[in-house]
Structure 1
Amino acid sequence: MKQWNGRKTMVCLLVIFICLLTAVTAAGQFYRAEALVTDFSRKNMPPCLTHPFGTDWMGRDMFARTMTGLSMSIRIGLLTAAVSTVTAFFLGLLAASMGKVVDGVVIGLIDLVMGIPHILLLVLISFALGKGFKGVVVGISLTHWTSLARLIRGEVLQLKESQYVKIARKLGHGGFETALKHMTPHLLPQLFVGLVLLFPHAILHEASITFLGFGLSPEQPAIGVILSESMKYLTMGKWWLALFPGLFLVAVVLLFHLTGEMMSRLMDPGFVHQ
């Protein structure tokens, strides 16, 4: 029972969380067309059996719009987290394996990016690229790699003291080649966990800049667009326009966060026998 309550229970929860996130993504694709359908005969309907999340001022079904918006956020989060992880991986390897000059340049770049508030830099990049999907993806990708890059750099510096790495260097392999070929297998767990943990940050920042008007197009049923549009109707008693999308956004972010934490614990050697 002890083994089941520890590692196996966490694996089961991890599978459930992944299935829930996959279901939300699939539901968003399924309701994509319905999220854009307008019907003024059913506008501003509160939650009911036919419309669990109610309808908005144009008669659009809020459940369909919420699922579509969450699906879009998850896909953007996956793409930007992957780009950020790859960027962090290569910059971390370069910093730790290519000498003091390259290390100083990469560390300076990390400090520069981390020294500017995330949301401000994200808004500037997105605005400079014309906003929309491209601006959001590039902006998030260029602002979320720094912490993971520092972690990768630290791991590579430790691995450089390993015996097999020193032997590879003596055989004539270059610093970056040695790091790429011989250290990458040891870095994969950190990269995978880092990829998952970047998801919630990417999703929240996508919703934030879209809410502020610097992200996705207003025509798209994104969560940030839905929340931004609902603000003017809250004082009129249309509470469901913001409540359900906001709650589901928080739930998805928490699922990603818990999934990342569980994966981190499962990959921890100290947790193997629990």
Structure 2
Amino acid sequence: MNRRQRTLLFIFLAAAGLLAVAVGGILLGSDKIATHLELRNSAPSWEHPFGTDWLGRDMLTRTLKGLTLSIVVGIAASVSSVVIAMTLGLAAATMGKAVDRIVGWLTDLFLSVPHLVTLILISFVLGGGAKGIIIGIALTHWPSLSRIIRAEVMQLRNAEYVQISRHMGRSRWWIATRHLLPHVLPQFAVGLLLIFPHAILHEAAITFVGMGLSPHQPAIGVILSESMRYLSTGMWWLAFFPGLCLLLMVRAFDTLGENLRRLADPHSSHE
């Protein structure tokens, strides 16, 4: 298999695994995450592969539902962040020097503060929950992608067909939406998949410290936070399996994004 075939195989395997997690989390019923005190603190077994918690809830079901919730929150936050990056990147490269300076100042401002610190502040101001996390991730993860899009558009705007449209009296908005935007759509897809792992990890981190999703939701951050109180009693499975699944899902999305980036790169797509 050449590199292109291996890349396509990795993309298929990663997408299939993530789709299986999402479908499993949606289709699984809520009966296994109901309280069953007679099954509490059960170690992993054939009936409960991930064991049960202190309330007798099946940890496999809770983990799959938590991963599904993380996927939904991560997709919403990533799409919002990429849309912001696309909009500001196009505006900086096409709307004149004043807009370029403003966007550059905003980019430097957000890059000067660690993502997690800004995300905690935004989530705290908005009262936490899914809304606070989505808005916080969207407002903190756009600067790097925005710079890439700006640099690419700066090269494209000097193309001959763009210059012809400008001499024909076309507006900057028309040129940006008709000529420039179609060329940066691959960056939209790749940026979405590369931002997504960061969105999931930051969502879990914020939820872990109690400023994210509600404790009543089966989120991975909630599960890991609750399990810390029981690790000293030997209930290792409460943190091990959810944490491992979160790591594998993030790695799968990272692999998916990296391989799509290779396909979109003209220098490596034909190797």
Aligned-partner SS, 1:177: helix
1:47-196 paired onto structure 2 within 5 Å: 47-196=44-193
Task: Return the alpha-carbon distance in structure 2 between the equivalents of residues 168 and 33 of structure 1.
Answer: 58
Cα distance change on mapping 1:134 and 1:240 into 2, 3 Å: same
Name the counterpart of 2:17. 20
SS in 2 for 1:130: coil
| AA of the residue aligned to 2:179 | H
Question: Which residue in 1 is equivalent to 2:228?
Answer: 231
1:80 Cα deviation from its structure 2 partner: 0.9
Inter-CA distance 32–224: structure 2 relative to 1 (3 Å threshold) = farther
Q: Secondary structure at the match of 1:142?
A: helix
Question: Structure 1 residue 234: deviation in Å?
Answer: 0.5
How much does 1:257 deviate? 0.3
Letter in 2 for 1:94: A
Aligned to 2:230, the other structure's residue is in SS state helix
1:32, distance to aligned residue in structure 2 (A): 5.3
Instruction: Measure, in 1, the Cα distance between the counterparts of 2:269 and 2:221.
Output: 40
Q: Deviations over 1:201-259 (max 9, x none)?
A: 00000000000100000000000000000001111111000000000000000000000
Distance in 1 (alpha carbons) for counterparts of 2:72 and 2:254:
16
Matched, 1:33 2:30: yes
Identity of aligned residues (%): 51
Which deviates more, 57-66 or 170-179? 170-179
109 and 35 in structure 1: CA distance in 2 versus 1, 3 angstrom threshold? farther
Which range moved further: 179-188 or 203-212? 179-188
1:89–1:149 contact (8 Å) kept in structure 2: yes
1:42–1:59 contact (8 Å) kept in structure 2: yes
Deviates more, 1:162-171 or 1:207-216: 162-171
The answer as to whether partners of 1:93 and 1:180 remain within 8 angstroms in 2 is: no
Give the TM-score of the pair, scaled to structure 2: 0.97
Gapped runs of 5+ residues in structure 2?
none
Query: In the TM superposition, what is the alpha-carbon distance from 1:31 to its structure 2 partner?
Result: 2.5
What is the number of equivalent residue pairs in this alignment? 271
Cα 1:40/1:114, change in 2 over 3 Å: same
- Is the 8 Å Cα contact of residues 111 and 143 (structure 2) preserved in structure 1? yes
1:10-65 deviations in Å (ceiling 9; x for gaps): 21221121011011011111225245311000001110111000000111110000
Select the residue among 240, 256, 259 that pairs with 1:262.
259
2:124–2:211 contact (8 Å) kept in structure 1: yes
**Cα pair 1:85 1:195 within 8 Å, conserved:** yes
- Summarize deviations over 1:160-198 as a string: whole Å, max 9, x none: 111111111111122232122101111111111111111
